[in-house]
A and B are shown apart, each in its own frame.
Chain A
């Protein structure tokens, strides 16, 4: 039951349009700092582009996908029209306004601070206020998801919340809480300095605040992908979900352990004590748990589908899978990329191993592999799966869809594997120019070139994706039927209250944030000698 299709389509189209734009910037950046090009002579252009790419890809694109998908889930899983449609549009327009407001100063070169802000670097206040508007717009979505679930619960007392909606609301709560870190940093620290009310800033405290957001935001990006794993994949390939309970536990675990781990982003920062770094490192290891649960459950679900199709033997069933089905391809690619990305992540979260790759291209390679690879490829799958229901028209051709997914998968590997490699060799990140004629880094020229070629494969794949979605609007009208989610092997009749509500888990999320973050934040905030003069971008 999809009533507000325009609302969902608006979110998706805006998300994918800005994604296409940022993809261009990304490919251009890979090109100009590779040996394929002499260099742009002005690093400012590079950082301007980098700021736009990061801001769009990190804040605007995934937030819009999560929101659009969230509205679609709310209507089709709860089988009730969305409550608060006007508010939903308000949130959407806030994001549009915020994005424009943030991008104008970036385009003018007044906010080349990168999407992670990097105080004491300070850009135009409009950039930060724009980002705040994007976050406020998404908070409206958080509230609406909660309200819609409440409305449904009133009419279905005691019934199990459908898994898709349960996960969706868990994702929205995670986002609401994790965005608080960056919001505090922006409102208490950066914006007063950007407006000129103060000229000094506590860069160390700001980094701790940002780490609060920076890691859990990845799990917010991941939520639509995991929801697709559990609730789209088994249905799309003709199977059943192996365990509904396992899904609930995985999403609950994300809610609880995604938050108190962000300090592993500040391993090299002197302002955080080594004890807290160790605690965060150990908690980061826990995040592997919901992912391993998910990989197990989805592999089991996929096996069920394969055996239903006549697959035999301990591994023979893999051949029986519907490999011409785009969703099957997407989930396989996503798992492969997630596997490599996750393995790299284990190195990042280890206090000692991290020192070898800290601030190198390894890190950039890692988060592109996880986000651009494992996560975004499932965003494609979600769009392909939902599109016929949103447009009332079938996708033009599945072979083009398969080609697009293959290109993205290959492109992502060609881009990120050499990227990791040069990181191990010590190539620093966030630099606009590398002198490949120097004997110290000339051996890395080949890997960087390969990586840049991969970026163009990704660009082609991204454009193909937009082309497929756009042409789908001109196909003859068909009835795609009601949008359904996958059915578990064992029908869900009753669910323990703890797995059907959030109170315990939200309390634990907040509790662990306090135990793991309160002391580092309060001690830094209480000290008077930790502020440094702000460095204004473009100031003379």
Chain B
């Protein structure tokens, strides 16, 4: 027997196989694309074709519902792990010049005496992202925002390169190293809180997450509170807001005190 005898409707196996497969597909398609969309009374369709397109997963932009911009501005920064990874000497030099106006708060060596973040040795992508967010208004601070407003992309990249280039130094008022609190080691999985170290170093480092060792306790606490209250909104997909909201005030205190007591030198170098 040849293929010609096989693929013919005179062959009962062929007609049964093809007939059943086609029939089932037709029936299930009828159910999936027409019956079920209309069975969901909360869905409104302009017509049959609209219902089919919707069930097929065709993205639709409904003109009738205006998409009002509500809520605060969100971060528009897009980061990849390799971004700003290999800055040139010229970029670092330009950054050093630009950084002179940052020194009043962030310190001439990138170590702050004013409860501002220590920037010496911070990841370049972190500094770049925060500057972008200050400029766009996704993050706001009465002191910092005016500084960022006039910066160009290249200025920000240079500043990031310069601060990342500086050596990590001990903080100004180091306290004795505290033991790790539970929230830092384990997080609180039941409340959806990952361990701090799973993004901020020690376990793993995620692009855009700063290392925190030796930062000002007051600053860390204020930021966690700002995330929790929704005052600070430049975390992508609400990552930090979701965490901070679920943290207890005591956990916020513990985490801030722990990180402030750690020497910055223990942060592992990444390049």
Contact = CB atoms under 8 A, between A and B. Distances in A.
Interface of A: 39, 41-44, 199, 256, 271-279, 282-283, 286, 431, 433-435, 438, 440-441, 496-499, 501, 503-505, 507-508, 511-512, 515-516, 519-520, 523, 527, 533-536, 538-540
Interface string B55-72: 111110000000000000
Interface string B255-271: 00000000000000011
A256 B20 CA distance: 11
A496 B270 contact: no
Contacts of A39: 186
Contacts of B147: none
Given A199-B80, A435-B189, A498-B14, A274 B57 contact: yes
Q: Which of A41, A274, A533 has the most CB of B within 10 A?
A: A274
B58 A523 contact: yes
B13 A496 contact: yes
B13 A276 contact: no
Contacts of A277: 32
Given A275-B32, A275-B52, A279-B32, A499 B58 contact: no
B37 A433 contact: no
A279 B56 CA distance: 11
A504 B186 CA distance: 56
Interface size class of B (residues with CB under 8 A): 35 or more
B78 A272 contact: no
Nearest to B13: A498
16 contacts: A43-B203, A199-B82, A275-B52, A275-B56, A278-B28, A278-B55, A435-B186, A496-B13, A503-B3, A504-B6, A511-B21, A533-B78, A535-B207, A539-B81, A540-B205, A540-B207
Interface string B179-197: 0000001101110000100
A523 B57 contact: yes
Interface in B160-203: 185-186, 188-190, 195, 198, 203
Contacts of A496: 13
Given A44-B203, A275-B33, A279-B29, A499 B56 contact: no
Contacts of B56: 273, 275-276, 519, 523
A540 B205 CA distance: 6
Contact of A276 (B32, B190, B271): B32
B25 A515 contact: yes
A276 B80 contact: no
B76 interface: no
A41 B3 contact: no
Contacts of B185: 41
Residue with the greatest number of chain B CB neighbours at <10 A, chosen from A498, A534, A535: A498
A516 B185 CA distance: 46
